[in-house]
Amino acid sequence: MSLPRAIEAVALATTASIAELPPRKHVLDLDDFTPSEIWALLESSRGMEEVLHRDIKKVPALRGRVVVTLFYEASTRTRVSFEQAGKVLSADVINVSTSGSSVEKGESLLNTGLTLQAMGADAIVIRHPHSGAPNLLARHLDRVGVINAGDGMHAHPTQALLDLYTIWKKLGRLEGLKVLIVGDVLHSRVARSNLWGFTRMGARMVICGPPTLLPLELLRSNEEAGGPPSLPSVEVDTDLDRAIQDADVVMALRLQAERQQSGFLPSLREYVRRWQVTPERLDRAKPGALLMHPGPMNEGIEISSSVAHGGNSVIEEQVANGVAVRMAVLYQLAAGRK
């Protein structure tokens, strides 16, 4: 047996029941994932989670592979969980942030990517304030897998995958669930990727918030304009007390103060009064409904502290599941690379 095959065999033997993953070059959003590919990643994440529960959380699945995290924006959950995921799989993980790198001297994103590729990176995990930055790298780098860790208001596919995984683990299914996303949907890349992911998996999606913070253009058909396929039907409701009724899942989103322009909100007090997820509102959802938030939270604004830390909350489980899901994504992209 050749050395790479032997390594792979050991890796598979030591990572519990990793599902057969179809080959994939990049993870830029969930719009090009089929339901069966999402299922394969969720199954694979379950195998990865088993590794995380061992005494020694280390398998050689990505030994000899190089994963670079390239973050042009702040992050705690995504950056740390990708780093942990890579290390558990024995990849060499190199963290690059704009501060202290040649980006400070004006190096372009593309030249930064080409530099990392020349150094032998197998995967680049990128977060960037501009929508489309990961797609640009993916178009120009031929030897590196690109993973979008959040770009502008566009997409955050691994967050959506960990949200799907968390719900599937807790409720045992995705199809037919009523999933409510409430808050600043307009600025939320998490919501956009989740809309793709949940509708692909057959969930019923409802978005709710002030009309000025809902991306109504996303919900219109693009067909007349000859554009890309629009999202499958998503219900829109600006009345949270009504929208939350019988929800299986309630996902509150952060009010993104850094992306607000004047005029989006009448006042913060009005926003809290009408769209904060409170215990009284959560009582209208299905008994045992899951309360989610991608983080970071503004407690007391989009979500009350008692709800955020209450019995329905799976927010910490979302964070924990992020490691297993990102292990599965890294494995899918980097394991088969030559």
User: Least Å distance between CB 226 and ligand CP?
Assistant: 33
Q: How far is the CB of 123 from ligand CP (least distance, A)?
A: 17
Q: Which stretch binds ligand CP (CB under 6 A): 39-47, 100-108, 244-252, 294-302?
A: 294-302
Residues 44-83 touching ligand CP, rule: CB under 6 A, are 75-78
User: Considering the complex, what minimum distance in angstroms separates the CB of residue 76 from ligand CP?
Assistant: 4
Site string for ligand CP, 149-168 (x = CB under 6 A): -x-----x--x---------
- Closest approach, Cβ 199 to ligand CP, in A, equals 20
Q: Among candidates 29, 50, 49, 51, which has minimal Cα distance to 38?
A: 29
And the tokens for 326? Answer: 């990102």
Question: Tokens 């566009």 map to which residue?
Answer: 154
Residue 278's H or E segment, with its range, is none
Q: Is 196 exposed, middle or buried (0-12, 13-18, 19+ CB in 10 A)?
A: buried
**210 is a contact residue toward ligand CP (CB under 6 A):** no
Half-sphere exposure of 115 (CA within 13 A, CB side): 11
Q: One symbol per residue from 245 to 284: x for binding ligand CP (CB under 6 A), - otherwise; what is it?
A: ----------------------------------------
Dist CA 83 CA 149 (whole Å):
12
With CB under 6 A as the contact rule, the residue among 294, 304, 323, 332 that binds ligand CP is: 294
Least Cβ distance, residue 68 to ligand CP (angstroms): 17
Angstrom distance (rounded) from CA 282 to CA 296: 20
Distances (CA, A) of 260 to 128, 186, 190, 223, 296: 18, 10, 16, 30, 16
Interface residue list for ligand CP (CB under 6 A) = 75-78, 150, 156, 159, 294-296
